[in-house]
């Protein structure tokens, strides 16, 4: 489950409908009825927060978001413009550093993609969407 307060339009989430889970993009939010419209490859539907799940940040999703991967000694670095994400070699995405210019943040939890998108926007003032 994802709290509505964590979501913004454009965020990537997993939506569950009749036991089937689909990856999709938040297109609209109805705070009054506590519903979120998610567009999947099948269709757009309204979901309540208990039917929305986070997508863990991983190599595959960073590539989908347009990051380039660079291997370093003991770490992997993902770059998109001046924005950087650094994870220990072996892909421990529960311990990542990210920075944009002088703003540096160290996350010690498995960050979901929607949180990365929101942090990216806070730091760069640019939306982070799939390419």
Task: Give the tens place of pLDDT for each residue, 15-42.
Answer: 999 999 999 999 999 999 999 999 999 8
- Given a cut of 90, whether residue 131 has pLDDT beyond it is no
SS3 52: strand
**How many whole angstroms separate alpha carbon 120 and alpha carbon 131?**
15
Residue where the block lists tokens 């760069």: 124
Cα dihedral: 109, 110, 114, 119 (round 10) = 40
Domain 4-53 class in CATH: mainly beta
Place of tokens 């380039």: 68
Q: What is the mean pLDDT of residues 69-80?
A: 94
Please state, in angstroms and rounded to a whole number, the distance separating the CA atoms of residues 73 and 129.
29
Backbone angles phi, psi at 16, to 5 degrees: -110, 130
pTM to 2 decimals?
A: 0.92
């Amino acid at each position: 489950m994802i709290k509505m307060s964590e979501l913004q339009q454009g965020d990537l989430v997993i939506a569950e409908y009749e036991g089937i889970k689909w990856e999709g993009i938040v297109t609209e939010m109805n705070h009054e009825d506590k519903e979120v419209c998610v567009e999947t490859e099948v269709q757009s539907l309204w979901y309540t927060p208990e039917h929305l799940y986070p997508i863990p940040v991983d190599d595959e999703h960073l590539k989908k978001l347009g990051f380039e991967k660079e291997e370093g000694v003991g770490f992997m670095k993902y770059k998109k413009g001046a924005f950087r994400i650094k994870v220990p070699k072996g892909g421990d995405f529960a311990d990542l550093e990210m920075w944009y210019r002088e703003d540096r943040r160290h996350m010690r939890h498995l960050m979901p993609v929607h949180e990365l998108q929101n942090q990216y926007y806070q730091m760069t003032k640019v939306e982070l969407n799939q390419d």
